[in-house]
Structure formats: structure tokens, C-alpha cells
Amino acid sequence: MAEMVAALEGDVRYHIVGARFRQGGGIPGTAGGAVRLAWSASVKLRRYPLGAMAYQRVRGAWTRRSATNGTLVHCCSHLMYGGSPWIGDYENVNVLGFYSPRLLRDPRFIEHLGHSLEDPSCRAIRVWSASAERSFHALFPSPEIRAKLRVIPPAMAFPPEAGRAHRKDGPPRILFVARGFWIKGGSLFLDALLKLRSRIDFRADFVCDLPPECRHYRAELEGIVDFHDPGFSREELFRRFYGTADIFVMLGMADSYGLALLEASAFGLPIVAMRLDSGLSDLLRVTGNAIQLEPDHQIFDRSGVHCVEPAELLRRIQADSRTPLAGRIADVLEMLISDRDCRRKLGDRGRTAILEGCLSTVAMRRSMLDLYAGVMN
């Protein structure tokens, strides 16, 4: 959202109503005890249909009360209920169901969402990818809702660090950046490097949490992999890691879009990723800079809707310790490490998509301005 606000500065005046709370992110540390208790209770209650419906209504009422009369309200990840004209902005339909397959299968909850999206005050529904559009079609047969859908991918401003000359000394360097070791494929990546270490010369940066039971990787990959705890700022990641990498790896099995892929593309890095029924694979089809592998598990069905609870996905991944997928990842990495021309061709495609293509801020700005003008006329 920050990239969108910056790109439209001078054309659109945004009134930021409040922080965007996400499940797992909690609330600001400065909040009082009563507020923190209420937030914790609301997170627990919204796991169930009636609690989720109540949460959506309270949050929508809070947003509506904060809006200036007559202005268009741009709602990110939540809903409005009548009042000011508004558009919804969603990574995919799972955002509205708090990423819970149980909620997304509940007829009462879907009817509740549909009433809000069909309301004439909802002027448009901006989604991030073709997969996100399919996910809305899967849950809402309503012609009124489907007619409001607009696919406008996110974009990012080209970072100054990406324009600097790339280092040319030493063996090729692989970069893995994630938070959430198991679901993000951390074990698959490190197992692939264990298979690869005797076959070809390389180095790697692993910027991810490492559970205590997996600390053995530090000793087994010593001298080859540098382990870093996550928590770097975006600028630090650009300066310390993206600018020195040759290959970017993202092996998540539950990623709805994958904004880190935009960053890697801006730096001209070829990407190794999973093929998911989500916006992540839509994005990589546009950039054309990735080699995708079939995952053993993923959280989406063919329509892009969550069909597996996050806890169940985690259990399946942890139980599947003898997968041949790590070997296939090692084979792809070996090919990229040994073929500099292939790395360059893939990297150039991604950089072009960010600088000039539909993932550029110029394209996003034009699409958003057209959307705003259309819904206000």
C-alpha cells in the first residue's frame, strides 16, 4: 500500500484511517492492557462464523465513522457496510475469510460477505492477480460482484541499490529470505544445499528463522551458508543481500502473492519457486524469470481458495521428511549455478517487467487512476 500511495502522490489524496492489523502481527506495544485484551479476544472470536461477521462489522463501522463524507474509501483487507462509496483491495478472497477454509465453507459467512460486496456503495473490487479473481468467482456467483472485479497487480519503485554494479568475484551466491521456516520451505532449501555441496562450488545466505531442532544445519553447511536471523529492514536487505546475490530462492507453499519476488526481479535475479494455485505463479508468468517446481503440499485448491488450514499444512510438511523434492531443487540450482547466460537472461526479463512492464509503478498508477475515475463517475 505504501508503494501505491507514493506512486499516486500528487494525483490522489489518501487519508490513512489507521494501522493495518494482520493476524499474527498483534497490536502496537504502546497499546494499553484493555486494548490488547480486546484485540486478543477478537482474534480468537473471528475463527468462528458469528465472531468473524461481528469483527467485520465493527471494523467496517470504525472505518466508515473515520471517513470524510463524499470521499471514496479504499478498504484494504476489510469491508464497508453502506455509507460512503468504497472499493475493496484484496490479495485474494482468503483475506476476507482470515485464511480459514472453515469460514470460507460456511454459507452464513459467505452470504454475509456477499451482501456487503453487492451493496451499491461498493463500487469496485481491486484484486492482485488472475488467481485472486478466480478465487472470488469460486465463492460468489453473483453477476453484480463479478462485474466489480478489477485485476491490478501491485508494483514497486525501482530501488536505487538495484541500479548499482553487481559484484563479480567469488562463486555464485544463492539468497533465501523468509519468515516461517517450515511453511516457507526452509528445510527443503537446506536439504537441497546438502545434496549440492559436493557437486559444485557456491555460497548462500539464509535469512530466515531456524528452529532449535534444525540447528544441525549450521555445522553441516559451515563455510558454505551464512545464517542470519530475519528482521532486517527492506533497505538493509537490498544493500547486504539482494545486491550480492546471483540466484533468489522462494519455496513457500502458502504464499498468496510474494512481494519479495518483485524485489528479486528488480535486482535482476533468476528465481526458483514453487508452482502454486495463487497469485505467486501469476506474477512469475508475467516476469518470466523463474523456474517453478511442483510442491508436495500447498494450501490452495485449483480456484485459489484455501482448502487446508495453516496448522494442518505445517503438520504435513513436518511429517514429510523424506521427500525427493529437495533433490529436484538441487538439480535446478546446479543448472543455474553452472549456466551464467541462463541466469542473465532470466534476470533481464524480471528487471524489464519491473521497470517497463505491467509490474512497473507507471502501469500500476495508470490502472489505479482509471479505476478511481471510473467508480466516481
Ordered by where they begin, the domains of the chain are 2-18+46-154+360-376 (no CATH), 160-355 (3.40.50.2000)
For 317, the enclosing helix (H) or strand (E) is: helix 310-319
Using pLDDT thresholds of 50, 70 and 90, give the confidence band for residue 102: very high
pLDDT-derived band at 18 (thresholds 50, 70, 90) equals low
d(CA 203, CA 221): 10
Residue type present at position 21 = F
pLDDT-derived band at 242 (thresholds 50, 70, 90) equals very high
pLDDT at 347 over 90: yes
Q: What pLDDT was estimated at residue 65? A: 77
The rounded percent of the chain whose pLDDT value lies above 90 is 69
Burial 193-229 (b: 16+ CB within 10 A, else e): bbebbeeeebbbbbbbebeeeeeebeeebeebbebbe
Report the run of H or E that residue 186 belongs to, with start and end: helix 186-196
**How far apart are the C-alpha atoms of 137 and 122, rounded to whole Å?**
17
Confidence of residue 31 (pLDDT cuts 50, 70, 90): low
Cell numbers given for 255: 504464499
Gap between the Cα atoms of 354 and 264, Å rounded:
10
The beta-carbon contacts of 215-221 under 8 Å, at least 24 apart in sequence, are 217/190, 220/194, 221/190, 221/193, 221/194, 221/197
Rounded Cα distance, 78 and 255, in Å: 19
pLDDT at residue 165, as a whole number:
62
How far is it, in rounded angstroms, from Cα 108 to Cα 268?
46
- Please choose, from the candidates 15, 139, 10, the residue with its C-alpha nearest in 3D space to the C-alpha of residue 84: 15
Rounded-to-integer distance, Cα 286 and Cα 309, Å:
29
Q: What is the rounded CA–CA span in Å between residue 40 and residue 79?
A: 20
Average pLDDT for residues 347-375, to the nearest whole number? 93
Q: Tell me the mean pLDDT in the region 263-280.
A: 96
pLDDT per position as a tens digit, 39-51: 677 778 888 899 9
User: What's the rounded Cα separation, in Å, for the pair 272 and 83?
Assistant: 46
Secondary structure of residue 93 in the 3-state scheme: helix
pTM, whole model, 2 decimals? 0.89
User: How many C-beta atoms lie closer than 10 Å to residue 369's C-beta?
Assistant: 14
**pLDDT of the residue at 32:** 60
81 and 75 Cβ atoms separated by less than 8 Å: no
User: Which one has a higher pLDDT value, 75 or 132?
Assistant: 132
Confidence of residue 370 (pLDDT cuts 50, 70, 90): very high
